[in-house]
Structure 1
């Protein structure tokens, strides 16, 4: 499930880019030091260039920093907005219901398939 995000995760569940932040200095060949706000004081301010993205001034690709409530353990909450589609996946011995879910801060194109039983247990208000 996608309810808790961490900054050190990679792949499908990695958080979106936040920012933009000012580059303070270049540290070596491939690292940059960024000027981070006070609420990100727990995050190390030097990043490898592969973790950075050039600011393209596209607002829908960035999470507004004011909306992002980062906890002390560097996590933040996500919740589903709506169920877009329901499908059944048939395996050898059983049938699993899957729901295509749109999450807050994500567009409809970035919706993910989640198990119906896990969604009902965690977010029962979606099915009312």
Structure 2
């Protein structure tokens, strides 16, 4: 066991660039960008910011700055605007969520099929070894089409910002991401890899 641990430590040390402490900068250019096609006749929708507790306002400042530092958002003067709210995670920390419900109502749906859970379980019946990979900030790995960036604006008392990368809460985000991941893992799908949005399972 000690020998195995030493081997793993050497392996991790050799490929330490695969496990950075933080992810900065824009994702690379890909064959596709995330897009937001709207129903004909749609006009910009803007919702006032929600009321927040002092602790939420402090967290809002922190998370906005983190997104700015990573290059995932920038200030915007777009007529669009969605409010922000916070959801408490299991570990007690707060996740910033953009309420895109109004935008989602006028977005033309991406019909790319999500995998059926029962079909995935059928593939695993003879497997006994499993390795699960949960992509870090997976949605932020896909750029937004330039002309659609203004539609992603979120409004706060600290300014209006638009996303340059795909954001949580957009109705077509799961379909777009599973399409991207299915393309990446296409040679291995249903052989020893299962992809469910940003979760990857390797089985044998």
TM-score, length-scaled by structure 2: 0.20
**Which has more helix, going by share of residues?**
2
**Higher relative contact order, chain-length normalized (CA < 8 Å, sep 6+):** 2
TM-score, length-scaled by structure 1: 0.27
